Amino acid sequence: MRKYYIDNIRILCIFLLFPFHTCMVFNTFNEPFYVFSTPVTVLSQFNIIIYPWWMALLFAIAGISSSYALKKRSGKEYLKERVFKLLIPLLFGIVLIIPVQSYLADMFHNGYSGGYFEHYIVFFTKLTDLTGYDGGFTPAHTWFVLYLFVISIIALPLMLWYNKRNKKIDGGKIKMPTLLSMFLVILLMTPIIELSGKSVGEFLACFLLGFFLLSLEEVQDKLAKYRWILGVSWIILMAIRSFMQLNNIGHGLIWDIEQRMLTWIGILAILGLGKTYLNFNNKFTQYFSPAAFPIYFFHQSILVIVAFYAVRYTKLVSTQFALILLLSFIITLLCYEILRRFSVTCFMFGIKKKNTNG
């Protein structure tokens, strides 16, 4: 029986992309972005408290989904699916979708005055810190797709080996203290291959914990049972993180430990709450479930284009924020609606083709 709450949590995570990247335009924590406006503390705090658990949750869900997928698919079928759903869209995205972000960043920050296609040469030859904020090459937001593909390939032999074993993890024997302590796995793996502040080890840990533990029915039942304790703990940890950042304690071992605790407790709380309150299926979720990945893929380039013009159109922060958030969401959905009607674009960007026969 399909666990609709997993799909619905994924949809909510994808929706968070729009306020998160809109808030990046107004950030106060000195992180570069493609386009900047006036720094706004409250918008920055929103990003500060959601990032630790938000992207990690997507990797944990991918691990859970892989557990279910490999019960029905062979390793070869799983690998083929990863190539068509992740690798091919990633390559087309880097060529066709991402360069506009670097181009606009070069115009906004450096006064670049050349044409868009002329900037292609800059994009593919200027290799700096891989952020693209200086006009150079970047995978931009598709770093998630790249990481997920790499992690899926790295984890596949281990997942196949485990599935062939007669002895499996007994979810009924896993107590909450043991489950809560798993944040240490994330903490210890975070230093492994960290690029531009994004750790392959951290997200690999979340993926594997999703596959081995969070996919177990008994564990999911425990999370639902303790959902309110986990939920309150999650809110407290977000408040602590905000307090630490506002009071200049955003570094060091204590910060790292608190962040990984927030990562893990956030994942557990959302899964527990989701199992209880989000396990439904309707026309809204049926539409957005297959749309989630394409929306992720297209959203940021569209958002950066909208932001580039919005910050020039008006100096009023509230208007800028509303324009960027709403227009980027609407235009992204329109792009998805158009592109899912053509087989070639469905292939290029991993879109499930619309059934034109109804």
Structure confidence at residue 194 (pLDDT): 84
pLDDT by residue (tens digit) across 143-168? 999 999 999 999 999 999 999 988 88
Residues (pLDDT < 50) of the chain are: 356-358
What global pTM score does this model have? 0.94
CA distances from 39 to 43, 252, 318, 321, 324 (A): 8, 25, 12, 12, 15
Structure confidence at residue 358 (pLDDT): 43
Burial label, 272 (beta-carbon count in 10 A; 0-12, 13-18, 19+): buried
Q: Residue ranges per domain, the chain?
A: 4-98+139-349
Q: Write the single-letter amino acid at 257.
A: I
353 contacts: CB under 8 Å, gap ≥ 6: 340, 341, 343, 346
Structure confidence at residue 275 (pLDDT): 96
Structure confidence at residue 196 (pLDDT): 75
CA distance 51 to 25: 15
Would you call 244 helix, strand, or coil by DSSP? helix
Structure confidence at residue 249 (pLDDT): 81
Q: Are 215 and 67 in contact (CB under 8 A)?
A: yes
In the chain, the N- to C-terminal Cα span, in Å, equals: 25
Structure confidence at residue 355 (pLDDT): 62
Would you call 151 helix, strand, or coil by DSSP? helix
